[in-house]
Amino acid sequence: MATLTSPPESTSPAAAAAASPRTAKKRFLSDAATHVRDLGHRLFVRKALGGYYVNRDAQKARFRDWEHARDAASLAKWSAVNRLDELLPRFVANFEAGGGQVHWARDANEARDIILRLVREAKAKAIVKSKCMTSEEIHLNALLEGEGFGVVESDLGEFIQQLRGEPPYHFVFPCMHVRRDEISDLFKEHLGSEPTDSPEELTMIARRYMRQLYVDADVGITGANFLVAETGQISITENEGNARLTAALPRVHIALSGIEKVVANLDDLAVLLPMLATAGAGQPLTCYNTLYAGPRRDGEADGPEEMHLVLLDNSRTALLADPEQRDALHCIRCGACLNVCPIFKNVGGFTYGTTYQGPIGSVITPHLRGLADWNHLSGASSLCGACTDACPVRIDIHHHLLHNRRNAARTAPSRLEKLGHKVFVQVARRPWLFAGGGWLFRHTLGLAKRLRPPLLKQWLDTRDLPPPPGQSFRAAWKHRSR
Amino acid sequence: MPESVTEAQRNATARETILSRVREALQVAAPLPHLQTDLAGEMVGQPATAPAAGNGLPSLTVLPEAAARPWLPDGGETLEERLAILTANLEKLRASVERVADVEAAAAVVGELVRQRNWQRVAWHRHPQIDPVVAAGVIACGCEAPAVDDPGFEKRQLETCDAGITACESLVSQTGTILVSSATGGGRGLSILPPVHIVIAPVGAVVATLGDALHQVRQRYDGSLPSLLSFITGPSRTGDIERILVLGAHGPKELFVILVG
């Protein structure tokens, strides 16, 4: 099996930001400025999303009442997350009864240690992996490759990103920013294939390359979309069949999931699965939605001998402890909020520097990785509410961005802002000072525009100041009322 | 084995830490989501304005699926309605669907495929609905036909098969979906590894919704579910390259559904 070696993680923008969170804001601002000016990139991303809007609307129209269905989905997740204390142990007991083994991980490092140990115990020579954002969160590939294991991402988009040495651009559409000619060059370089401009032929090149890997791999690693408490099954949603193959052929199946993915029962799943597909990809249902209840049973033709599930906290309980924003844990990772977000479409997925991009990423990243370093994401929003409207489980996304801003102002107020408010209070209390200040402002605005002092530079770089008014509002008011 | 004891202890400690964090976090109740209906009130048995405390939620009186059923896509009431919706949905998904009168006719359809495409090897699993189809439609055409439940069957063989034939648990008209399981689908690999998947099912297996299909398997297996239940909705597909749809990403490129009866 060919070993795929990614370049060091630090070469990618997202990974570099992750490595030094203190610079996350600076990097965000500079990357955003670069991407916003890249008109070709923006047009390409918009074009790629064009088909999604059409398909999503067509599928939404098949629902007899989409808005009410959102209520049901929202409530299914609300009741599960708010009963996690009861449902999580119930899920685990049922999953273990089905022959699966559960491994609890308080944080990313513990999850990494567990998976590394399992892979070593399995004496893995080859590992095949299907798409799993939680594994991006704990930087699993870099760890396993660093320890000498060959890991191949089997989802086409993730495979392309792995060959490019980049993290996913979008947590559902990992390589939506990459042109077909770039993919053709990439496959030619790494797989020795003939150049082609046909997406179908490119897909078949990856298919042929992957076929034997599934049969040869000893360990398959997957994520999980839902954990069903009632039956102890894990549910995996996909389109390509790569997760099916990953959990069918290798001897050991390891699944990694956040603890918040629990739902109460199969009835809830019957609502959530079609909504995930419609909101996420504009499909009636994604091609494969599979429930796994453990390793191969007696009498079954095939399947893994062992099934392991790693349950990850990694600050999810911190978000759970905030009742105001607890509903952010309802997220089913459909990506609908990214697809409609004007910020995402303009700054692109890498600018966020986070595992989870877009509006929902801006809400949860400060909880997972610290408000002080990641609050700037909450400012990167027009508060238009398109994300909240798109969310199939009705997470109040854009208000949570405001909540994050408020919390940041409370915990670490800006000295400059505080001083500004103090000065304003003093000025506003004295009408003569207020009038004088207004006069000064009107007469220096033009100068400020020309000189661009450091304090205003960032603001002025992207905005045009209107010409200063000839008179104050108070003068204008007096004039009108006469 | 000191190391495994340490690992068991670590796991127990981690479990207790996480569960106590969860209990602690839920001490303060979260408000109900902003809904458009009184569904919340119906479900928790209280008006939507008075959320129950985190740990003392009353059990749900109305399940979301039951509540949501009239809002989700229609699956049809009568069997004929369900068949019409299923057929339309499967065709939109670019699967082929054919309704035949009996098993002999199903075998003829399969035999035609085998001859037309010159298939050399077709995998299947032993099942009352499949056995006669394979005997008359595959083996009679001189095509090799390994069954996955035969002793000595190697999963590697699946890689070399032209097609896989399976039964299924049910078909869901609402979404154009086939539910296979590791119990009646010949394990995990047969319905996903060969480039063509052929499903043989009686027309009576068509149910309206995903919820109905799940209810049915829950009753059928009563507490000991097969290790895999997979909802298959069309041939394998990807849109990862410029969001352009391509069929046959890793799973079957083609899906044939033959409804008998």
Which of A106, A207, A291 is the closest to B17 by Cβ? Answer: A106
SS3 (DSSP) at A481: helix
The last residue of one of the domains, among B16, B46, B71, is B71
Q: Is residue B16 part of a domain?
A: no
Over residues B17-72, the pLDDT tens digits come to 999 999 999 999 888 888 877 776 666 544 333 344 343 444 444 556 777 888 99
A309 lies in the same domain as A425? no
> B246 and A203 in contact by Cβ < 8 A?
yes
Q: Is residue A388 part of a domain?
A: no
Residue of B nearest to A316 (CA): B22
The last residue of one of the domains, among A294, A317, A340, is A317
Phi, psi (rounded to 5 degrees) for A103: -125, 125
| CATH number where A93 lies | 3.40.50.10420
B243 lies in the same domain as B164? yes
Q: Is residue B113 part of a domain?
A: yes
The count of other CB atoms within 10 Å of the CB of residue B115 is 13
The last residue of one of the domains, among B40, B55, B71, is B71
Which of A81, A85, A318 is the closest to B23 by Cβ? Answer: A85
- Based on the structure, what is the number of domains in chain A? 2
Domain hosting residue A49, numbered range: 9-178+218-317
> A64 and B71 in contact by Cβ < 8 A?
yes
Q: Is residue A353 part of a domain?
A: no
Residue of B nearest to A243 (CA): B250
The helix (run of H) or strand (run of E) holding residue A105 is strand A101-105
pLDDT value, residue B40: 65
State the alpha helices, DSSP H only, in A63-198.
66-81, 84-97, 108-121, 133-137, 140-146, 156-164, 180-191
B49 lies in the same domain as B103? no
The last residue of one of the domains, among B19, B45, B71, is B71
pLDDT value, residue B63: 59
Amino acid at A263: V
Q: Is residue A130 part of a domain?
A: yes
Amino acid at A371: L
Q: Is residue B12 part of a domain?
A: no
B43 lies in the same domain as B131? no
Is the reported ipTM for this assembly greater than 0.90?
Answer: yes
> A301 and B67 in contact by Cβ < 8 A?
no
Q: Give which of A158, A287, A289, A400 to mutate to test B binding, by max B Cβ within 10 Å.
A: A287
B92 lies in the same domain as B158? yes
B227 lies in the same domain as B121? yes
Residues of chain B positioned with their CB less than 8 A from the CB of A264: 60
Q: Is residue A190 part of a domain?
A: no
pLDDT value, residue A466: 83
The count of other CB atoms within 10 Å of the CB of residue A216 is 14
- Based on the structure, what is the number of domains in chain B? 2
B49 lies in the same domain as B177? no
B149 lies in the same domain as B240? yes
B171 lies in the same domain as B92? yes
pLDDT value, residue A462: 79
pLDDT value, residue A238: 97
Q: Is residue A125 part of a domain?
A: yes
> B155 and A249 in contact by Cβ < 8 A?
yes
> A231 and B242 in contact by Cβ < 8 A?
no
Which of B57, B155, B242 is the closest to A215 by Cβ? Answer: B155
> A78 and B240 in contact by Cβ < 8 A?
no
Q: What is the pLDDT along chain A (482 residues), one digit of tens a residue?
A: 344 433 333 334 444 444 455 589 999 999 999 999 999 999 999 999 999 999 999 999 999 999 999 999 998 999 899 999 999 999 999 999 999 999 999 999 999 999 999 999 999 999 999 999 999 999 999 999 999 999 999 999 999 999 999 999 999 999 999 999 999 999 999 999 999 999 999 999 999 999 889 989 999 999 999 999 999 999 999 999 999 999 999 999 999 999 999 999 999 999 999 999 999 999 999 999 999 999 999 989 999 999 999 999 999 999 999 999 999 999 999 999 999 999 999 999 999 999 999 999 999 999 999 998 999 999 999 999 999 999 999 999 999 999 999 999 998 888 888 899 999 999 999 999 999 999 998 988 888 888 888 878 878 887 888 888 888 888 888 888 65
Over residues B144-193, the pLDDT tens digits come to 999 999 888 888 889 899 999 999 999 999 999 999 999 988 899 999 99
Q: Is residue B126 part of a domain?
A: yes
The last residue of one of the domains, among A256, A291, A317, is A317
How far is Cα A37 from Cα A450, in angstroms, rounded to an integer? 23
B67 lies in the same domain as B91? no
Q: Is residue B22 part of a domain?
A: no
Chain A: give the shortest CA distance to residue B114, in Å. 23
Sequence-distant contacts of B99-102: CB under 8 A, at least 24 apart: B99/B203, B99/B258, B99/B259, B99/B260, B100/B258, B100/B259, B100/B260, B101/B260, B101/B261, B102/B260, B102/B261
A289 lies in the same domain as A432? no
Residues of chain A positioned with their CB less than 8 A from the CB of B126: none
Residues of chain A positioned with their CB less than 8 A from the CB of B238: 156-157, 203, 239-240
B184 lies in the same domain as B211? yes
Which of A70, A74, A104 is the closest to B14 by Cβ? Answer: A104
Global confidence as pTM: 0.91
Q: How many CB pairs under 8 A join A and B?
A: 339
Provide the pairing of β-strand A288-292 with A233-238. antiparallel
Q: Is residue A373 part of a domain?
A: no
B176 lies in the same domain as B248? yes
Domain hosting residue B117, numbered range: 79-260
> A207 and B250 in contact by Cβ < 8 A?
yes
How far is Cα A192 from Cα A59, in angstroms, rounded to an integer? 39
A279 lies in the same domain as A423? no
How far is Cα B143 from Cα A260, in angstroms, rounded to an integer? 50
| CATH number where B158 lies | 3.40.50.10420
> A98 and B225 in contact by Cβ < 8 A?
yes
Q: Is residue A322 part of a domain?
A: no
Which of A203, A215, A291 is the closest to B241 by Cβ? Answer: A203
Q: Is residue B172 part of a domain?
A: yes
Q: Is residue B179 part of a domain?
A: yes
How far is Cα B146 from Cα B161, in angstroms, rounded to an integer? 9
Q: Give which of A158, A185, A288 to mutate to test B binding, by max B Cβ within 10 Å.
A: A288
Which of B176, B236, B242 is the closest to A48 by Cβ? Answer: B242
The last residue of one of the domains, among A296, A317, A338, is A317
Report DSSP letters for B189-217, one per residue: TTTTSSSEEEEEEEGGGEES-HHHHHHHH
B38 lies in the same domain as B153? no
Percent pLDDT > 70 in chain B is 89
Q: Is residue B19 part of a domain?
A: no
pLDDT value, residue B2: 56
